[in-house]
Amino acid sequence: QITLKESGPTLVKPTQTLTLTCTFSGFSLSTSGVGVGWIRQPPGKALEWLALIYWDDDKRYSPSLKSRLTITKDTSKNQVVLTMTNMDPVDTATYYCAHRQGDGYNLGYFDYWGQGTLVTVSS
């Protein structure tokens, strides 16, 4: 059974760096074809894709946020970490991590999601 859970601060100040951790079980990020992505959703708004990391450490980022994002993995801990620099109130959102399903390096889709974590950016 695949499960994912996001953890991190619920409140960050403007200009600070956000670090979120996705801890998962039921699969290994060292298995060929596996990936984990991050998606966020501002209150009352649509989903927005942020980043994706593949089993072989290849990475993809949203073009609009690429300069602020870093995604890494710790296979031994079954964790994926997302950092976002220079946080702003418009970054207030629920942040989700999700298991990516797809063929090879095809971006694919997200078949299992974490419960999400609400991050508020405010001074």
Partner 1 sequence: SYELTQPPSVSVSPGQTARITCSGDALPKQYAYWYQQKPGQAPVLVIYKDSERPSGIPERFSGSSSGTTVTLTISGVQAEDEADYYCQSADSSGTNVVFGGGTKLTVL
Binding site for partner 1 (CB under 8 A): 37, 39, 46-49, 52, 60, 62-64, 96, 101, 106-107, 109-111, 113-116
Task: State the residue for tokens 């699969």.
Answer: 27
The answer to whether the beta carbons of residues 70 and 97 sit under 8 Å apart is no
Output the six-digit token pair for 81: 């970490």
Output the six-digit token pair for 92: 């207030």
Q: Which is nearer to partner 1, 14 or 100 (CB)?
A: 100
Q: Which is nearer to partner 1, 16 or 120 (CB)?
A: 120
Q: Which is nearer to partner 1, 17 or 118 (CB)?
A: 118
Which residues make Cβ contacts (< 8 Å) with residue 41, sequence separation at least 6? 47, 48, 93, 94, 96, 116
Q: Which is nearer to partner 1, 16 or 27 (CB)?
A: 27
The least CB distance from residue 92 to partner 1, in Å, is 17
The least CB distance from residue 122 to partner 1, in Å, is 21
Residue type for position 26: G
Q: For the chain, give the number of residues.
A: 123
The least CB distance from residue 1 to partner 1, in Å, is 13
